[in-house]
Amino acid sequence: MERLPGFRDFYPEPLPHSDVWSADVRNYLFDKWRNTARAFGFREYDGPPLEPLDLYTLKSGEEIVGQLYNFIDKGNRAVALRPEMTPTLARLVGAHERHYKKPVKWFSIPQLFRYERQQKGRLREHFQFNADLLGETDPAADAELIALLISLLQACGLTPSDFVIRLSSRNAWHDYFARSSADPAREYEFYQVIDKLERATPDESEAKLAALGLSLDAVRHFIEAGQPTPELSTIIQDLSARGLAEFVKIDYNVIRGLAYYTGPVFEAFDRQGQFRAIAGGGRYDHLVGLITGGKVQLPAAGFGLGDVVLTEIITQRRLLPKLEARLDAFCLIEDESIRRDSLRLIHELRQAGCAVDFPLAPLKSDKQFKRALDSHAAYTLRLERSTHGEISVRIKNLRTREENVASPAEVLPLLRLP
Ligand code: HAM
C-alpha cells in the first residue's frame, strides 16, 4: 500500500530512505517555533482539521477554493480539510472575543491540506506555523509580526544573506487601481494578475492587464519606483529600531493571492530565489467581521510559515544539528535475577525525568552494550547484588569511561545530565 501523492511519512533519524521526511527535524522546527513565539508573548491555540466548506468558499479566494479537499460527510454536511488556518482563527476569536484582552497575540502549528500540483516546495499537506495579532490597527502590529518571522528564521540558523522579507501593501495597489479608469468591481481580478506577474509570461500578463484597461509597462514602472506608503515607512522604521532593517525591502511584486488581505502584505524568500516562498502574510481587517456575519469587527494581521520550504533550505545550507536517539542511561540486565530491582530503579529514574531504556527480554551482554552505544546513552547502569543481598549500581560514563558504584538512591544525582 503506497502513501498518497503529495503526502509524507515522517521517520525517526537516521532516515531509511531519501524519499521520507524526518520526524526529528519536524520536532526540532516546532520547538524553535514555539520558543520564539513565546518570547514574543504569543499564546498557542488550535482548531479542528475539518471545517464547514462555507468557511472557505466566501472568504479565502478562488485559488485556495480550487485546491480544497472537500466532501459530503455521513451527516450530509459539506465539509473541507483546512487549507489554511486564518478563517478558523477568525471563527475562534469571533466566538469569544470579549473573553480576551486586546491585542490578542496567538500562534498555532496546524497541518494543512491543499490539492495542489505537486512540485518542489509544494505538497498536498504541510505544517504551517501561524502567528496572528488581532485588535490593533497600528502598523506597530505589522512590524511586530515581521520581527517575529525574522526571529523564527534566525532561530533556524538563517542570516540576512540567506533570506529577505519582501514588503508591500494592498493599499498601494488599491490606490494605483483607483487612479486608473478600470472597473472597481474587478479589483481582485487585478490583484490576481499582479500576484502571478513573476510566474506568468509577459504576453499573458500584458493581455490580462489590457482586458482591465491597464498596461504592463505602467505596472512595471510602479513596481520599480517602489515608493513606500506611510504605513510601510512606519513598519520599516520600527524594524530598523530593532536592528532588523537589512532583512526587509519594499517590493510591490508581492500582493498575495488570498482575497482577504487589506493593507501591508509580505513574503519571505531565499535571497538566491531558488525556492518557493518560505512564508507569507499581511493585514486582513475585515475577515473577522465577514466570518461573524458582522457581529464582531476586529482588525487583524498575521502570517504563515510552512515547514516544507524551510526544511529544504536549512538542509541545503547544512544548518541542522545531528538529531539522533539520545538516552540519559541504558540499564544493562545481565543477570535475570536482578531484573525486578532494575525495573524499580528504571521507573524511578524515568519519573524523575531521565530518558532510560533497557532490554525487554534476556539478551547477550555484548548486544546490550551495543544497544546502549547505538542509542547514544550518556551512562550505562548495571545492578549488582552483594553476598549479603544488598543492591548496588555500577554507573559508567560512556564518554569518559569513568565508573562509580552507588546505592540505587544515589544514582540520580550521579547522572550529571547536560
Ligand atoms: P500562504 O501564503 O497560502 O498563506 O501560505 C503560507 C506559507 O505556507 C507559504 O509561504 C509556504 O511556505 C507554505 N505553504 C503554502 N502552501 C503550501 C503547500 N502546498 N506545500 C507546502 N507549503 C505550503 C496562508 O496560508 C495565510 N493563511 C497565512 C496568514 C496567516 N495570513 C494571515 N495570517
Give the model's pLDDT for residue 256. Answer: 93
Phi, psi of 54, deg, nearest 5: -55, -30
Q: Are residues 258 and 213 in the same domain?
A: yes
Task: From 282, 316, 350, give the residue that closes a domain.
Answer: 316
Q: How far is the CA of 226 from the centre of ligand 1 (A)?
A: 25
**Does 309 fall in a domain?**
yes
Residues of the chain with pLDDT below 70 are: 61, 417-418
| Gap between the Cα atoms of 282 and 266, Å rounded | 6
How many domains would you assign to the chain?
Answer: 2
CATH of the domain at 363: 3.40.50.800
For the chain, the farthest-separated pair of C-alpha atoms sits apart, in whole angstroms, at 99
Q: Are residues 287 and 342 in the same domain?
A: no
| Gap between the Cα atoms of 392 and 401, Å rounded | 19
Cβ < 6 Å from ligand 1: which residues? 84-86, 114, 116, 122-123, 126, 128, 130, 132, 258, 277-281, 302-304, 306, 308-309
**Does 86 fall in a domain?**
yes
Which one of 51, 81, 82, 84 would you pick to mutate in the ligand 1 pocket, going by the greatest count of ligand atoms within 8 A of its CB?
84
**Does 238 fall in a domain?**
yes
Task: From 293, 316, 339, give the residue that closes a domain.
Answer: 316
**Does 110 fall in a domain?**
yes
Q: What number does the ligand 1 atom closest to the CA of 114 have?
A: 19
Q: Are residues 261 and 358 in the same domain?
A: no
**Does 5 fall in a domain?**
no
Q: Are residues 351 and 377 in the same domain?
A: yes
Task: From 316, 350, 369, give the residue that closes a domain.
Answer: 316
Which residues form the domain of 236? Answer: 10-316
Which one of 21, 116, 128, 307 would you pick to mutate in the ligand 1 pocket, going by the greatest count of ligand atoms within 8 A of its CB?
128
CATH of the domain at 85: 3.30.930.10
Percent of the residues in the chain that have a pLDDT greater than 70, as a whole number: 99
Q: Are residues 244 and 367 in the same domain?
A: no
For residue 15, how far is the Cα from the chain centroid? 21
| Gap between the Cα atoms of 239 and 245, Å rounded | 6
Q: Are residues 175 and 57 in the same domain?
A: yes
Q: Are residues 293 and 269 in the same domain?
A: yes
| Gap between the Cα atoms of 221 and 227, Å rounded | 11
Q: How far is the CA of 327 from the centre of ligand 1 (A)?
A: 36
| Cell triple for 389 | 543481598
Give the model's pLDDT for residue 417. Answer: 64
**Does 2 fall in a domain?**
no
**Does 224 fall in a domain?**
yes
Which one of 81, 126, 149 would you pick to mutate in the ligand 1 pocket, going by the greatest count of ligand atoms within 8 A of its CB?
126
Q: Are residues 306 and 218 in the same domain?
A: yes
**Does 1 fall in a domain?**
no
Q: Are residues 393 and 336 in the same domain?
A: yes
Give the model's pLDDT for residue 324. Answer: 87
Which of 275, 268, 270, 273 has its CA nearest to residue 304?
A: 268
Q: Are residues 259 and 385 in the same domain?
A: no
Q: Are residues 334 and 207 in the same domain?
A: no
Cis peptide preceding 5, ω within 30 of 0: no
Give the model's pLDDT for residue 418. Answer: 59
Q: Are residues 387 and 264 in the same domain?
A: no
Q: What number does the ligand 1 atom closest to the CA of 301 have?
A: 32
Q: What number does the ligand 1 atom closest to the CA of 305 have?
A: 7
